[in-house]
Amino acid sequence: MGSKITLRTVEAAKPSSSDFFIWDTEVHGFGLKVTKAGKKVYVLQFRMGGRGTPTRRHTIGTHASPWQPGDARNEARRLLEQVKSGVDPRKVEQERQRQEVDLRFDRYVQSFLESYAKREWGERTYKTHESNIRRWLVPVLGMRPLASIERRHITETLDKVPIHSPALRRDLFKLIRRILNWAIEQGDLNQSPMVGMRGPSKIAPRNRLLTDQELQVILAHTHEEPEWAIWGPFIRLLLITGQRRGEVAGMRWEELDHNEKVWTLESKRTKNQHVHQVPLNDLAIIELDILGQGAAWPRRGAVFQHKPETSLAGFSKMKARLDRIIGEADLELKREWRLHDIRRSFATGLQRLHVRMEVIAALQNHRSIHSGKTTEPYHLHDWAPERVEAMQLWADHLKALVAPQEPLELDATSAAGK
């Protein structure tokens, strides 16, 4: 059945008891398939060789926008040019569909995490970004192929972030940019829609310091209730060691050496992916003796856990509870504070005690304050003796602060036996 396929031809075609074809008289191999259900589909029939090769059929599209007879005929001509060049349109379409699935954002980020993130990022950074991808990026960008992502989609993603979380908004912007740039490096994307796109404004550095009086208040109320058997030591060790919240929360017994009085964090547990050794002063030893129920600490396992082999969680609820306890005692802190302010106050406190900046930086696992591509290979002193001295100096300072209540001067042996 042959006729030039026009809009009138298509509309006049009525379904029959079986599928049938109308072949175009203008472009050889171009046709309209009419199914017995009444569906009308534009097709191209062709051979990848001479008469002896099998006939192949490729579906151009269903009659509807954007496929009208003229558009479908032009597409048939384009495909026939491919056939003349030895390219099978069906395989091209199959590859396009495969890429549309494989390069869909929610699938592609899994490849990004496996092939790039796990290799380049530390454990802590990986967990943070993996969580942000799952929580913030996939819900908006997930079903979109990479090539279809536009600036408006990125803006829509960032607009989901609460207004009180500007740092998160900035982090997500950088994360999306890294994913798309990696896709370009892999040859999976030609150009990033973020080229020339201005990121969120920089966040002013936080400079909240806890005064000695505020530290007294916090320390005095970490022994208040039975459920603080975990949270109390956690907060005190944050203040005693000056380390990051996640590092202290993830502390494991196999990282601790009672005899050497040192806590060793592997590179995968640190922000800068460098092994970090924290000297344990006498206050830290007391807290750990209590948690370990004596000086013979457990050989393995998490130091802080609500249930066996479950990581410590619920920091926001714990912090809110501590604030309520302090408020009920009519000893509210002067200003809003966060757990990370403890780390800043630790560093500033050591500075007030005339500890060298290099020693403070080493204690907090920051790269040398004078580091650089030229100078870093020549500055190799690890400040180990000075760090031990500084940590004990800080412990003595804390003991002087809490002398009236003496909450940190518990006898470890007797406390463990209670």
Q: What is the mean pLDDT of residues 398-409?
A: 66
In this prediction, residue 52 carries a pLDDT of 84
Q: What is the mean pLDDT of residues 115-126?
A: 89
pLDDT at 258 over 50: yes
Domain 212-417 has CATH 3.20.20.10: no
In this prediction, residue 71 carries a pLDDT of 95
pLDDT band at 202 (very low <50, low <70, confident <90, very high): confident
Q: What is the mean pLDDT of residues 57-77?
A: 93
CA distance 270 to 102: 33
In the chain, list all ranges with CATH 1.10.150. Answer: 105-185
In this prediction, residue 37 carries a pLDDT of 94
pLDDT at 308 over 80: no
In the chain, list all ranges with CATH 3.30.160.390. Answer: 7-99
Q: Tell me the pLDDT of the chain averaged across its residues.
A: 89
In the chain, list all ranges with CATH 1.10.443.10. Answer: 212-417
Q: Which two tokens stand for residue 75?
A: 């597409």
In this prediction, residue 377 carries a pLDDT of 63
Q: What CATH fold (topology level) applies to the domain 105-185?
A: DNA polymerase; domain 1 (1.10.150)
pLDDT at 227 over 90: no
Q: Which two tokens stand for residue 153?
A: 């989609």
Burial of 290 (0-12, 13-18, 19+ CB in 10 A): buried
3-state helix/strand/coil string of 319-330: HHHHHHHHHHCC
* Between 95 and 337, the higher pLDDT residue: 337
The b/e string for 224-258 (b: 16+ C-beta within 10 A; e otherwise) is: beeebeebbbbbbbbbbbbbbbbbbbbbbbebbee
Which of 175-189, 201-215, 364-378 is predicted with the least confidence, judged by mean pLDDT?
Answer: 364-378
pLDDT at 113 over 70: yes
What is the phi/psi pair of residue 45, to 5°? Answer: -110, 135
pLDDT at 247 over 90: yes
- CATH class belonging to 7-99: alpha beta
pTM above 0.75, yes or no: no
